[in-house]
Amino acid sequence: MTSIKTAGFAGDTLEIIAFRLHEQEFCVKTTTIREIRGWAPSTPIPHSPPDVIGVMNLRGTVIPIIDLAHKLGMKSTEANERSAIVVAEVHSMVVGLVVDRVSDILTIRSEQIQPVPEVTTSFDKVYAEGIIAHENGMICFLNLARMFKERDMEDMAA
């Protein structure tokens, strides 16, 4: 079992939040998450990038709502009452990520994170920090900072 040293992981353990998109499990570090909200419709923005569903008011602050499945090259999420909006902070900007449902909050050991295999995948591998083999299956560990480059975030804010 090969492990990788992943940048930005302090200590031996890491807290992650796991969520589902189209029957696939993904996760991000809990330190990037501000809150988890139930599904609520957003206001569409004309001529926005294809992965931006719209915007919503989060306690007086307007934030972009991102179709995370689309951003990962998957079929767009069909939001329903079980969907959730994971509110994250990336490059000092707050965004809402639409997911099918939040699965769990887990504490993992850093050595559980394995490199992404060199195979054709349905998403851009640069977005993945690694793969976690968990008792309930495989979890793709996403790197939001690489997924949303600072320039992209500036374009969304404009």
Q: What is the pLDDT of residues 128-137, one digit of tens each?
A: 999 998 887 8
Band of pLDDT at residue 155, cut at 50, 70 and 90: low
Q: Please give the structure tokens belonging to residue 5.
A: 């040293």
CATH of the domain at 46: 2.40.50.180
Q: What is the C-alpha to C-alpha distance for residues 81 and 84, in angstroms, rounded to an integer? A: 8
Task: Output the pLDDT for position 141.
Answer: 95
Q: What is the average pLDDT across 14-37?
A: 95
Q: What is the C-alpha to C-alpha distance for residues 106 and 133, in angstroms, rounded to an integer? A: 12
- Residue of higher predicted confidence among 151 and 115: 115
Q: What is the C-alpha to C-alpha distance for residues 101 and 119, in angstroms, rounded to an integer? A: 27
In a domain, 6, yes or no: no
**pLDDT at position 124 over 90:** no
Band of pLDDT at residue 1, cut at 50, 70 and 90: very low
**pLDDT at position 120 over 50:** yes
In a domain, 4, yes or no: no
In a domain, 46, yes or no: yes
Q: What is the average pLDDT across 72-101?
A: 93
Range of the domain at 119: 13-157
**Under 8 Å between Cβ of 40 and 85:** yes
Domain count within the chain = 1
Task: Output the pLDDT for position 6.
Answer: 44
In a domain, 25, yes or no: yes
The neighbouring-strand residues paired with 66 are 52, 97
Distance between first and last Cα of the chain:
45
In a domain, 108, yes or no: yes
In a domain, 1, yes or no: no
In a domain, 8, yes or no: no
